[in-house]
Amino acid sequence: MAASLKAHECWDVIVIGGGAAGLFAATVAAERGRRTLLLEKNQQLGVKILMSGGTRCNITHDCTWREIVDRFSPAARQFLKTAVASLTPQQVIDRIEAEGVLTKVESTGKVFPVSNRAIDVRDALQRRMQRAGTQVQLGCAVQSIHSASQSFVCRCLLTTASRAEESSGDEVEFRGRKLIITSGGQSYPGCGTTGDGYAWATTFGHTIQPLKPALTPLITETPWVRELRGVSVESCRLRLYKSMGQRPISEQTAALLCTHFGLSGPGPMNLSRLVPTVATAPRPSIEIDWSSDMSPEILAERFAEWRRAEGKRQVARATPLDVPNRLWNALCLQSGVAPETRWAELPKNTQQRLIQNIKRTRVELHGTMGYRKAEVTAGGVTLSEIDPHTMESRLVSGLFFAGEILDVDGPIGGYNFQAAFSTGALAGNHA
């Protein structure tokens, strides 16, 4: 893909990072007739797109642009308005469909390609960018950036696919009149996202809001929860507590997946930004309501019906709830229901304990899986230092930032890609 690039020529626009934001930035800049060069550290573009949504790519959310921005923090919400209103979820879908990749909306509101193949989305974005005339240099790790005579000089290390394993490569410099930094955050560092852009932003006088892994699974050492690995529940109400016994600091109703290390899935991951990576005593805890659509009173009525209708059946073997059998078994065990107890014989106080555990399982947390498994990095380039109408730095003319490197992070559901696409396109439009 890399044409033979002359290191001494001056590009109109250089984009650093070929992820979601960089692909949009480089496409829009080139479509405006700007001679655009995209520098990407990896040997291929859009590595995170490829692994996103369990390799299905949750492109965006089926909602209005306002509903997208409403899911971000108040500061990010204000900041993202112009960008997301200029490139709405529907416009993202239209662009991808125009490349022949049809999309579908799932019951959760998440938008995926009909093919369930993230690679189709990545290829669609790449095709349009190539048609626009963007030049791409793969295997190009930007090492440092400095400004010189009204342009930016990127000093890079070039590695070819065959030499990617080697630590050294050829050093080369690229010069551009405008620079768009879309180098992402520092989660999943194995994908090339090692937080390089934060140091460059600092060099240009920007401040970085404290960085933290977000949308990462939670760790617990509670054995019975870990033994439930593989069990998932579509909709649980989760309340996060700073330590046992206090008032909740946040809550979520979303899907949950038990794993061999703790809790994953959208609900726990959405709460993870508030949990320390390593949690020492007094530890935070999460309270799980496994049956969020039923109050304790309705549960008690349901149990009474089962006593009458299913009295001869063993409680642990016959659940009146829409939950996996393994989970029901574990809840019975935790509540002291003896294996042979039949519904007709279930003591009142044991039933009370069972209802209590269904509605309020409290699990102590030992931390999170950190950056290694975080879908995004919270924190980043301070938003007040960036013009939200252009994505240009308020400190350095001609310097733009877009995507995850900014201090914006949203919940699971396609919100993060949408923010990256929209801010990338806006930067490309003004660079």
Ligand X SMILES: Cc1cc2nc3c(=O)[nH]c(=O)nc-3n(C[C@H](O)[C@H](O)[C@H](O)COP(=O)(O)OP(=O)(O)OC[C@H]3O[C@@H](n4cnc5c(N)ncnc54)[C@H](O)[C@@H]3O)c2cc1C
Nearer to ligand X, 182 or 368 (CB): 182
404 near ligand X, judged by CB under 6 A: yes
Site for ligand X in 307-336 (CB under 6 A): none
Nearer to ligand X, 60 or 361 (CB): 60
Minimal CA–CA distance to 96: which of 114, 77, 74?
114
217 near ligand X, judged by CB under 6 A: no
Minimal CA–CA distance to 287: which of 358, 337, 232?
358
Minimal CA–CA distance to 25: which of 103, 87, 76, 113?
87
Question: Contact with ligand X (CB under 6 A): which of 123, 196, 287, 392?
Answer: 196
Site for ligand X in 35-64 (CB under 6 A): 39-42, 47-48, 51-53, 57-58
Rounded to the nearest whole angstrom, what is the least distance from the CB of residue 286 to ligand X in the complex? 22
- Which residue's CB atom is positioned nearest to ligand X? 19
Residues 6+ apart with CB under 8 A from 427: 21, 25, 180, 182, 390, 391, 392, 400, 401, 402
Rounded to the nearest whole angstrom, what is the least distance from the CB of residue 277 to ligand X in the complex? 16
Minimal CA–CA distance to 83: which of 402, 393, 376?
402
Question: Contact with ligand X (CB under 6 A): which of 320, 403, 411, 428?
Answer: 403
Tokens 């022949």, located at residue: 100
Contact (CB, 8 A) for 136 and 14: no
Beta bridge mates, 386: 393
Q: How far is CA 363 from CA 28, 51, 262, 285, in A?
A: 48, 30, 10, 5
16 near ligand X, judged by CB under 6 A: yes
Contact (CB, 8 A) for 39 and 144: no
428 near ligand X, judged by CB under 6 A: no
208 near ligand X, judged by CB under 6 A: no
Q: How far is CA 380 from CA 40, 43, 112, 275, 407, in A?
A: 20, 26, 28, 18, 4
Window contacting ligand X (CB under 6 A); options: 94-102, 128-136, 191-199, 383-391:
191-199
Q: What is the DSSP letter of 141?
A: E
Question: Contact with ligand X (CB under 6 A): which of 13, 15, 17, 266?
Answer: 17
Question: Contact with ligand X (CB under 6 A): which of 88, 193, 270, 285?
Answer: 193
* Residue span 361-400 as binding mask against ligand X, x where in contact by CB under 6 A, dash where not: --------------xx------------------------
Nearer to ligand X, 22 or 265 (CB): 22
Site for ligand X in 148-187 (CB under 6 A): 182-184, 187
417 near ligand X, judged by CB under 6 A: yes
Structure tokens at 61: 């959310």
407 near ligand X, judged by CB under 6 A: no
Beta-sheet strand order (sheet of 262-264): 361-364, 285-289, 232-241, 248-258, 262-264, 218-219, 367-368
Nearer to ligand X, 92 or 294 (CB): 92
Q: How crowded is residue 32: how many other Cβ atoms within 10 Å of its Cβ? A: 15
Residues that bind ligand X (CB under 6 A): 16-22, 39-42, 47-48, 51-53, 57-58, 140-142, 182-184, 187-188, 192-193, 196, 375-376, 403-404, 414-417, 420
